Amino acid sequence: MNGGKKVLFVASEVVPFAKTGGLADVAGALPKALARMGHEVIVVMPRYYSIDKGSLKHVPGELGVPMGSMGELWAGVYESVLPGSDVKIYFIDYEHFFGRSGLYAENNVSYADNDNRFIFLSKAAMQLSKKLRFQPDIIHANDWHTATIPVLRNTRYVFDPDFANAATVLTIHNLHYQGHFYKGAIDVLEVGWEHFTPDELEEFDGINFLKGGISHADAVTTVSRQYAREIQTPEFGWGLEQHIKTHSHKLYGILNGVDYEEWSPAVDPFIAKHFDLDDLSGKKVCKSDLQEEFKLPVREDVPLIGFIGRFVDQKGIGLIASVMHRILKMDVQLVFLGSGEKWAEGFFSELAGRHPDKVGTYIGYNNTLAHRIEAGCDLFLMPSLFEPCGLNQIYSLRYGTLPVVRGTGGLEDTIDNYNPYTGEGNGFKFYEASPDAFFNTLSWAVDVYYNDPEGFENLRKNAMKARFSWDEAAEIYTELYEMVSLKQAMKRYQ
């Protein structure tokens, strides 16, 4: 590495402070891995109502945030560190925008002023960087919430000496969410109406934050190589495929890592008994523990199949539901952990009610149970319609719980299909998003469990050996930072 960069990392959610999805996991782990590589990283996020001020340190003074037609707003700032590191994280405190029970929505209804809330976060991060005299080499924005930062960097802050060296990176964690708003937000953003064009911020006479970010960022990344390819097609592009294609010269797929200190059967504090590659006996204890938890018959000889995730279309819950009557004809047990769409909550609850000897369901969010499911199951279902990276299949590998996945996005990049002739692979994979393709692959996995136990055990071992570390990802981000910094330096001569 040629030298550490000063990185301003901005995200709307960061583990362990606030989380609704994979973005928070990345924002909590990647900055630490970048710091280990020698970068000086500071993280900025909102101080949501759920984050106790008492546990944070107050930064003296007020932070002025210019909000165009809304005038200048004044925020408080708090600081802390990412656990297990000395990476500083700053919290933007502004009651009117962030003193609410949800992060983006309440009762499944998005806050009507999400445009102002996240323009505010984006500008506050830039203003804070100025106040701290941080002068970043890299500003790393994440998803639509902070996607206006690259736009601001190139417009409102283009001649600001505090950002003279700043190159911008925008990471897309899920293209499905883009930040579409009424065009009046341009006046709050203060970037000038000349940027309200279809090749920058405009879409259907409204403003699209992510579209603007993609136009202006020096590099755009997404969280797997396969997803980087997919989002350039109509099936996965959510209307932005052409725009992304136009900018594909600066698009890179960098696979997320996972935190093996949290997700490893050798050290996991939540599971009934530890186990690892050299001694799998603890996994049997975890299996019976899980069967007891869900009041299923305690049997060692039946494949126990798990699902953890948001009950939304993306996760393939429709596919699972559509073949459930066929799955139940096999001698299997299933456990479901999740919440989301009401029909799915009803469906999986009722299923457990009707088939108490075969199905267990827990509706809600339960981290401890998630660990126990990973540890106790034999197979893990992830038939996603799209999956930017996906974490659960990677956790499953580490726990020797073989994933049954659709080969899309990060699932394609992390799961190798079983090859019965060579014994290679770490899971079971299908491609067509059809009930038959999914069912056939799951029944194949069940067949291998019953009739090819040696093959199944080999797959388990292959799976448990696989590693997807943040250090590896941080090395690739470092190369990217080097590249965009160099380009930024050369801009002086343009």
Regarding 111 and contact with ligand ADP (CB under 6 A), the answer is no
Residue 401 identity: T
Q: How far is the CB of 270 from ligand ADP (least distance, A)?
A: 11
Of 127, 142, 392, 485, the residue at the interface with ligand ADP (CB under 6 A) is: 392
Regarding 306 and contact with ligand ADP (CB under 6 A), the answer is no
Question: Which residues are 106's β-sheet partners?
Answer: 109
Regarding 308 and contact with ligand ADP (CB under 6 A), the answer is yes
Of 338, 360, 409, 427, the residue at the interface with ligand ADP (CB under 6 A) is: 338
Residues 365 to 384: which contact ligand ADP by CB under 6 A?
A: 365-367, 370
Q: How far is the CB of 308 from ligand ADP (least distance, A)?
A: 5
What stretch of H or E contains 65? Answer: strand 57-66
- Among the listed ranges 27-35, 100-108, 128-136, 359-367, the one in contact with ligand ADP (CB under 6 A) is 359-367
Q: How far is the CB of 366 from ligand ADP (least distance, A)?
A: 5
Residues 11 to 30: which contact ligand ADP by CB under 6 A?
A: 21-22
Helix (H, G, I), strand (E, B) or coil at 364: coil
The sign one gets for the Cα dihedral 277, 280, 285, 286 is positive
Q: How far is the CB of 258 from ligand ADP (least distance, A)?
A: 9
Between residues 235 and 331, which has the closer beta carbon with respect to ligand ADP? 235
Between residues 363 and 476, which has the closer beta carbon with respect to ligand ADP? 363
Identify which of 307, 303, 300 has the alpha carbon closest to the alpha carbon of residue 448: 303
**Cα distances (angstroms) measured from residue 209 to each of 10, 163, 169, 254, 322:** 15, 21, 15, 22, 36
Q: What value does the CA radius of gyration of the chain take, rounded to a whole number of Å?
A: 23
* Torsion angles phi and psi, residue 193, rounded to 5: -70, -15
Binding mask 114-133 for ligand ADP (x = CB under 6 A): --------------------
DSSP state of 415: -
Residue 174 identity: N
Q: How far is the CB of 143 from ligand ADP (least distance, A)?
A: 11
Q: How far apart are CA 222 and CA 252, in angstroms?
A: 6
Q: How far apart are CA 310 and CA 163, in angstroms?
A: 39
Of 43, 317, 319, 391, the residue at the interface with ligand ADP (CB under 6 A) is: 391
Angle at 263 between CA 53 and CA 320, to 5 degrees: 105
Using CB atoms, what's the residue nearest to ligand ADP?
22
Q: How far is the CB of 110 from ligand ADP (least distance, A)?
A: 17
Residue 185 identity: A
Of 103, 337, 385, 442, the residue at the interface with ligand ADP (CB under 6 A) is: 337
Number of neighbouring beta carbons within 10 Å of residue 162: 17
| Interface residue list for ligand ADP (CB under 6 A) | 21-22, 308-310, 337-339, 365-367, 370, 389-392
